[in-house]
Amino acid sequence: MATKIRLARGGSKKRPFYAIVVADSRMPRDGRFLEKVGTYNPLLAKDSEERVKLDLEKVQAWLDKGAVPTDRVVRFLEAAGLRAKTERNNPKKAVPGKKAQDRAKERADKAAAASSEE
């Protein structure tokens, strides 16, 4: 059975609260799970200790059994010290889209034409 350590959403509309669960990868996001290993409350301050709570022993036991954490859970595990921090690189994140680049080029061309007329 392919198991994942992932988030299961709870809470009401616009007030998210997540349970960190170990579930069969074929089950729905908020469906049946094998074990609850922690909680995540994104509404709390980032430096709050209550924001992410993990039972590290249970998580380590599931990792030893072969459970695969999702990207968000990997970040929690890195912060808790269970995983080594990996270098993330997204060089295209700050690059504007094609239309924005075209608009900027048009503005630069107009400015160059206006300055050459003077």
Q: Is residue 87 part of a domain?
A: no
Encode pLDDT of 89-115 as tens digits: 888 888 888 999 999 999 999 998 888
Q: Is residue 14 part of a domain?
A: yes
> How far apart are the C-alpha atoms of 22 and 63, rounded to whole Å?
10
Closest CA to 28 of 8, 1, 2, 5: 8
Domain assignment of residue 8, given as a range? 3-80
Closest CA to 33 of 53, 6, 58, 61: 6
For residue 118, what pLDDT is reported? 67
Encode pLDDT of 23-40 as tens digits: 999 999 888 999 999 999
Q: Is residue 88 part of a domain?
A: no
Q: Is residue 68 part of a domain?
A: yes
Encode pLDDT of 39-89 as tens digits: 999 999 999 999 999 999 999 999 999 999 999 999 999 999 988 888 888
Q: Give the predicted TM-score (pTM) of the model.
A: 0.74
Q: Is residue 50 part of a domain?
A: yes
Q: Is residue 75 part of a domain?
A: yes
Q: Is residue 58 part of a domain?
A: yes
Q: What is the CATH number of the domain that holds 7?
A: 3.30.1320.10
Q: For the chain, what is the domain count? A: 1
Q: Is residue 28 part of a domain?
A: yes
